Amino acid sequence: MKKFLLIGLVGLASGVAAVYIYKQSSVPVQAPALVETTPETTEPAPRELAAVLPQFSLKNRAGEMQSIHSWPDKSLVINFWATWCGPCRREIPLLMDLHRNGEKDGVVVVGIAIDFHDEVVKYADKMKINYPLLIGEQDGMAAADAFGIASLGLPFTVFTDKKARVVALHTGELTAEKNKIILAAVARVNQGELTPDQARVAIAEQLLKLPSTAG
């Protein structure tokens, strides 16, 4: 599988075109125990991120195995989360609105819960989550690893275009303003106006202009 180097904003600012990663405070996942811990301040070593959507399947809400490739020709917003993660829970209303309003533009939100199946289903029913969920404990962490994530902290969100190419990765809590910027770039990739590399640079430049409290 073709891969490209995952680097941070420093590399992008120096003119190196690579996958865009916007890092906020996130909750590290501790294996095998799934518990919320204090966010680490140490940056993980650079690692290669998959350039295209990897192949994996996890259980859905009904307990049936389902592939991440179940939504062809759609731009996916793949959100890794857990019921015990506070920032993850805060993102859910935004993701529900995005899934509801994104249908006309071919945008589908897929939640990947790294958590116990029964707990996720109970929480999803309580919150009336309207987007598809894939669920797994160790399998969920393996799915994150398939993307090339060096250090798993929740939440994080992967954005793909309609050709299943990874355009952007956002770690930490996603906000409406950042989501708008990233999806606008993804739309331009879908329209043939930008390549994924160009979109990543454009995303980085625009997000750097946001005030630190932008939401």
96-123 exposure pattern, b = at least 16 Cβ within 10 A, e = fewer: bebbeebeeeebbbbbbbbbbbeebbeb
Domain boundaries in the chain?
3-28+47-208
pLDDT at 150: 64
In this model, does residue 189 exceed pLDDT 70?
Answer: yes
Q: Specify the CATH number of the domain 3-28+47-208.
A: 3.40.30.10
In this model, does residue 38 exceed pLDDT 50?
Answer: no
What is the H or E stretch that residue 195 is in?
A: none
Q: Can you give the pTM of this predicted structure?
A: 0.80
- Going by DSSP bridges, is the β-strand pair 48-50/107-114 parallel, antiparallel, or unpaired? unpaired
In the sheet with 133-136, reading across from the earlier edge strand, the strands are: 20-23, 166-171, 156-160, 75-81, 107-114, 133-136, 57-60, 65-67
How far is residue 32's CA from residue 50's CA, in Å, rounded to a whole number? 24
185 compared with 38, residue with greater pLDDT: 185
Q: Please, are residues 1 and 51 in contact by the beta-carbon 8 Å criterion?
A: yes
Any idea which residue has 């190419």 for tokens? 165
